[in-house]
Chain A
């Protein structure tokens, strides 16, 4: 027979016991998460037209200066790749110094200061492909960060907190596009952030401003009137390595199978 005293004691115990998991759930309240998801405001995207790129490398120079990436260190937030497909079916790819000085040589840079010369008549097709951070909608670099130093903002840009990064390098390994590197001065992970200080002021990114050929454009995917959005919605755009499920937000026009 249960006494009143033991009934009260046990009820309190059960209520207290239930309160513990409930308070844990409070920390991870999915409804609050959903409510805090801001679907207004911009969602920055990038459009690269590889047909227009001539490989001058002004974008790389502009980016390095604007974002204080050491100019002579062989690291860069954005770079341009050259693809030369020869008639024997081989693809020759290079990006000397990330194309910071453009492509001053006709020969393909094969490392150790050596150039591989290709005869003009052997070239089947050749083109340039600018690369930068894809600001993925499912960024694997953010998932692997153990300390919450890299994150995605409401407008879709993935940023790195230099004060919080411990420099473990997981994100550098985790990025399937190889856009992250170790900053030689700050000793933290570094990456393209669409010139966050410029786009949030209504300016273009430094690479877009320095491109004389219109090969690079930045836009807002949530604005249906944005010319970049219109192109992404209506033209035949492609993304890099979509099989990874990262949902990249840098779209390419004229992408060739050699690049993917």
Chain B
């Protein structure tokens, strides 16, 4: 084994040993193959939990219903029944603690998302009630005349 031919082998073995030891310390304990095998599941298992712990911001109308039953019932009876409260009122977050009140988007642009007239055949957008925001009561908020919780009712009672 004193031959110069064997000496590089010792070096290679030493490098492999260093890599194995370094790997032991650097790679997290939960790193390994997941359910999808080596090709797709090679990961740090703890990360799945990290993603599950992301905070839920939009709590849906089912959450609003508990306190704002009257508003909930009104919109559910109206043509706007499928629009979630938080689409216009913003995400609930930790409401009512934080924020104490939500910022309501009453802008024309919000209504115009659906109600700008786009003449598209074969798309349900073409069948929607729409206006041209450049000519329809420019400068006025839509809610001045249209009650968003039930667009069949007129005016904004404020």
Contact with B along A41-73 (1 / 0, CB 8 A): 000000000011111111001100111000000
Cβ 8 A contact of B40, one of A36, A53, A151, A197: A151
B123–A127 CB distance below 8 A: yes
Cβ 8 A contact of A209, one of B39, B40, B60: B60
Complex Cα spacing A233 to B34, Å: 28
B114–A54 CB distance below 8 A: yes
Which A-B residue pairs are the 8 nearest by beta carbons? Answer: A151-B43, A154-B35, A102-B113, A126-B120, A197-B54, A54-B125, A56-B113, A161-B47
Enumerate 16 A-B pairs (CB-CB under 8 Å) in ascending A order: A36-B33, A36-B35, A56-B114, A58-B87, A103-B118, A104-B109, A125-B121, A128-B125, A138-B40, A142-B40, A143-B39, A148-B44, A151-B36, A152-B36, A209-B58, A212-B114
Question: A214 — nearest CB in chain B belongs to which residue?
Answer: B82
Does B119 sit within 8 A of A, measured CB to CB? yes
Contact with B along A147-186 (1 / 0, CB 8 A): 0111111100001011110000000000000000000000
B43–A125 CB distance below 8 A: no
B122 CB contacts on chain A under 8 angstroms: 125-127
- Give, as a whole number of angstroms, the nearest-CB distance from A160 to chain B: 8
Does A15 sit within 8 A of B, measured CB to CB? no
With contact pairs A104-B116, A197-B55, A197-B56 given, residues A148 and B42 touching in the complex (Cβ less than 8 Å): yes
Complex Cα spacing A56 to B87, Å: 11
- How many inter-chain residue pairs (CB < 8 Å) link A and B? 162
Does A203 sit within 8 A of B, measured CB to CB? yes
Does A206 sit within 8 A of B, measured CB to CB? yes
Query: Could you list which residues of chain B lie within 8 angstroms of chain A, going by C-beta atoms?
Result: 31, 33-44, 47-48, 50-58, 60, 80, 82-84, 86-87, 90-91, 109, 112-114, 116, 118-126, 128, 133
Q: Given contacts A53-B125, A56-B113, could you give 15 more A-B pairs where the C-beta distance is less than 8 Å?
A: A33-B33, A36-B33, A51-B124, A53-B123, A61-B87, A65-B57, A102-B112, A104-B133, A151-B36, A153-B48, A154-B36, A197-B53, A209-B86, A212-B80, A212-B87
> Which of B36, B47, B54, B116 neighbours the largest number of chain A CB atoms within 10 Å of its CB?
B36
A33 CB contacts on chain B under 8 angstroms: 33, 37-38
B57 CB contacts on chain A under 8 angstroms: 65-66, 206
- Give, as a whole number of angstroms, the nearest-CB distance from A222 to chain B: 13
- Give, as a whole number of angstroms, the nearest-CB distance from B126 to chain A: 8
Tier of interface size on chain A: 35 or more
Chain B binding surface, main DSSP class: loop
With contact pairs A62-B58, A104-B109, A154-B35 given, residues A210 and B86 touching in the complex (Cβ less than 8 Å): yes
Cβ 8 A contact of A126, one of B48, B84, B123: B123
With contact pairs A101-B109, A127-B120, A139-B40 given, residues A203 and B56 touching in the complex (Cβ less than 8 Å): yes
| A93-132 interface with B by 8 A CB criterion | 101-104, 106, 120, 123, 125-128
Complex Cα spacing A126 to B123, Å: 7
> Which of B58, B121, B122 neighbours the largest number of chain A CB atoms within 10 Å of its CB?
B58
Complex Cα spacing A67 to B55, Å: 9
A88 CB contacts on chain B under 8 angstroms: none
B31 CB contacts on chain A under 8 angstroms: 148
- Give, as a whole number of angstroms, the nearest-CB distance from A54 to chain B: 4
Complex Cα spacing A200 to B44, Å: 18
Complex Cα spacing A159 to B50, Å: 11
- Give, as a whole number of angstroms, the nearest-CB distance from A213 to chain B: 7
Question: B112 — nearest CB in chain A belongs to which residue?
Answer: A104
Does A257 sit within 8 A of B, measured CB to CB? no
A7 CB contacts on chain B under 8 angstroms: none
Complex Cα spacing A164 to B110, Å: 39
- Give, as a whole number of angstroms, the nearest-CB distance from B35 to chain A: 3
B113 CB contacts on chain A under 8 angstroms: 56-58, 101-102, 104
B84 CB contacts on chain A under 8 angstroms: 209-210, 212
A163 CB contacts on chain B under 8 angstroms: 44, 47, 50
